């Protein structure tokens, strides 16, 4: 009876050991920024954002020119203005300066919103490809090296980039 118990006990450890070995995690890594940069959609989004930024900058520059002209006129003629005109011109300059600041803040917010709008489908596509690759190759985890979260990557670490690029139809 004691031999049967010991045999079952040893057999349980052997089976448990092989089960643990079979369940060890398979970890891969990828640089998401590099993958996204390799996607043609990313270039298209960058072009659209740059065009928007250029238009907004042009509008801001026009406002700046208008402000500078009015400021120069004010400086040149301020000695000749009575208090009411002087105060009116100062209020006009302050209002224009405030509108320029509001425009700049609004433009930055709009560019950030558009960046997120353009980037979301690209990220979704990249994440789907990585998820598909991870499932197909039975990865437990795929870490993003672009975020600096991986402090060590051994020789047996698996770079998922080639698999993800292949899944997205991107060739190196």
Instruction: Give dist(CA 119, CA 122) in Å, integer.
Output: 5
From start to end of the chain, where are the E strands? 27-30, 141-144, 158-159
pLDDT band for 6, please (50, 70, 90 cuts): very low
Taking residue 59's Cβ as centre, other Cβ atoms within 10 Å add up to 12
Q: What tens digit of pLDDT does each residue of 17-75 get?
A: 544 445 678 889 999 999 999 999 999 999 999 999 999 999 999 999 999 999 999 99
The pLDDT value recorded for residue 157 is: 77
Q: Which residue has the tokens 């994440």?
A: 127
The residue-averaged pLDDT of 120-128 equals 94
pLDDT band for 14, please (50, 70, 90 cuts): low
Q: Global pTM?
A: 0.66
Q: In what order do the strands lie in the sheet with 141-144?
A: 141-144, 27-30, 158-159
pLDDT band for 171, please (50, 70, 90 cuts): confident
Neighbour-count burial for 69-78, b at 16+ CB within 10 Å, e otherwise: eeeeebeeee
Taking residue 139's Cβ as centre, other Cβ atoms within 10 Å add up to 20
Domains in the chain, ordered, with CATH?
A: 2-167 (3.30.910.20)
The pLDDT value recorded for residue 22 is: 54
């Amino acid at each position: 009876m004691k031999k049967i118990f010991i045999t079952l006990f040893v057999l349980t450890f052997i089976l448990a050991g092989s089960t643990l070995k079979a369940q060890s995690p398979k970890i891969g890594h990828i640089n998401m920024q590099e993958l996204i940069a390799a996607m043609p959609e990313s270039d298209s989004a960058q072009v659209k954002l740059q065009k928007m930024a250029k238009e907004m900058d042009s509008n801001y520059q026009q406002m700046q020119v208008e402000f500078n002209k009015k400021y120069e006129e004010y400086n040149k003629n301020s000695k000749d203005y009575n208090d009411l005109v002087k105060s009116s011109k100062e209020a006009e300059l302050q209002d224009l300066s405030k509108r320029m600041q509001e425009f700049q803040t609004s433009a930055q917010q709009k560019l950030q919103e558009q960046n997120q709008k353009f980037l979301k489908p690209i990220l979704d596509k990249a994440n789907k490809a990585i998820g598909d690759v991870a499932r197909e190759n039975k990865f437990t985890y795929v870490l993003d090296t672009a975020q600096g979260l991986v402090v060590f990557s051994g020789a047996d670490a698996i770079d998922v980039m080639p698999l993800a690029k292949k899944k997205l139809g991107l060739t190196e």
